[in-house]
Amino acid sequence: MADPDESDSTSSFQGEAHTVVQAGAVHGDVHLHHRHKWPTPRQLPAPPGGFVNREAHISALGLALRTDRTEAGAVSVITGPPGVGKTALALRWAHSVRDRFPDGDLYVDMHGYGPASPLEPEQVLDGFLRAFGVEPSLIPITLDERAALYRSMLGGKRMLIVIDNSMSARQIRHLLPGSDGCLTLVTSRSSMPSLVAREGAVRMPLDVLSAEDALELLAEVMGDGRAETDLDGAARVVEHCGRLPLALRVVAERAAARPHLTMSDLAAELAAEQQRLDALSSEEDELVDVRAVFSWSYRSLDARQRQVFRFLGLHRGAEMSTAPIAALTRIPVAELRRHLADLCDAHLVQQIATDRFRLHDLLRATPSNAAAARRPNAPAPTPSAG
């Protein structure tokens, strides 16, 4: 016959299986904690308004969704000069495909170029792991351990990771997933050659808009019909802005606040090259100040690279070859080619042919200290616009 006390004790356990705790002898206090289900990470910022065209680039990004690439953990890198619309393209496309990634999306601005200090991969991994619900006390201390746990959390998931405004491959290499089904989208002013070589990333260069698309963007951001009623003046504004999306947005927003200003009047304001960057400046937000955007890239250069960049800015023509630059800077040609390659990698200079280079129109408008630039050993002055 069963012990009645034992029978009563056994029958006292009731409830669903996941709420039942069975134990033998218990000494001390028992604390039960209910673990809340962590929400699926959905970190993408809102997509920008006033987006035009880029259809070819959107189609190219779509190729990354092919099964054979996502199974390998695809990485796409959007590269281009400051203000060309890399982030706008990345976010617009990411929002259009986020339903293909049921396990969520992660986003981080690496602050590679900007007023804030660049993020270290340890900082980013800390945030990503918290987004997965990892308790802060359980997040490893070392970079390699954090990266290993991050890759484990991504195992078997289909997730979209957007790494914006990255400065170098070193900054983001530990943030790349190691699992099938995840896709990583990176934006950078650098062409990321080592990421392409080692991780098999697909590079997508982004250039300025066509004249037609630039005019459409100007009209869309202004939104009051002035650009459509004065196409000639609007076309001149577009060219003064170098068809750069950031510059076009800044000018359009400035014009929208001055409803009595015609497109021809605005074009006249922009016509004087030495006044151009003043007309494009914004005192309210450094992130939309064209001069500040280009100066961030400039500050990332070393002294020799700054010197070469200033000499290019002094040249009045649209293009310049290596030999005259070497003569002006007194830098040996072999060394000069390395500096020019670095400037091209930072998208401050474009190589248009063998040993021929040019600056973007807005960068050519940069007022610089010509006297200092002509002295090869002079300290690099900080330009007002890059």
Query: How is the beta sheet containing 356-359 ordered, strand by strand?
Result: 320-321, 356-359, 349-353
Query: DSSP letters along 141-203, please?
Result: SSHHHHHHHHHHHHTT---EEEEEEE--HHHHGGGS--STT-EEEEEESS--HHHHHHH-PEE
What is the tens place of the pLDDT at every residue in 226-255?
A: 999 999 999 999 988 889 998 888 888 888
State how beta strands 74-79 and 202-205 pair.
parallel
Containing 108, the helix (H) or strand (E) segment is strand 105-109
Strand, coil or helix: 358: strand
Query: DSSP letters along 202-252, please?
Result: EEEE--PPPHHHHHHHHHHHH-SSHHHH-HHHHHHHHHHTTT-HHHHHHHH
On the CB side of 189, CA atoms within 13 Å amount to 26
Q: What is the pLDDT along the chain (386 residues), one digit of tens a residue?
A: 545 454 444 444 454 544 455 555 656 665 555 556 789 999 999 987 778 888 888 888 887 776 554 444 689 999 998 889 999 999 999 999 999 999 999 999 999 987 788 999 999 999 999 999 999 999 999 999 999 999 999 999 999 999 999 999 999 999 999 877 899 999 999 999 999 999 889 999 999 999 999 999 999 988 888 999 999 999 999 988 889 998 888 888 888 888 888 999 888 888 765 566 666 776 667 666 677 777 778 888 888 898 888 888 777 666 888 988 888 888 999 999 999 998 888 888 888 888 899 887 677 665 443 333 333 344 433 333 33
* Whole-prediction pTM: 0.77
What radius of gyration, in Å, describes the C-alpha atoms of the chain? 27
What is the tens place of the pLDDT at every residue in 117-158?
A: 899 999 999 999 999 999 999 999 999 999 999 999 999 999
For 209-220, b/e burial (b = at least 16 CB within 10 A) is: beeebbbbbbbb
Shortest CA distance to 54 belongs to which of 97, 87, 82, 98? 87
Cα–Cα distance measured from residue 197 to residue 355, given in angstroms and rounded to the nearest whole number: 24
Q: Which residues contact 83 (CB under 8 A, 6 or more apart)?
A: 244, 245, 246, 247, 290, 293, 294
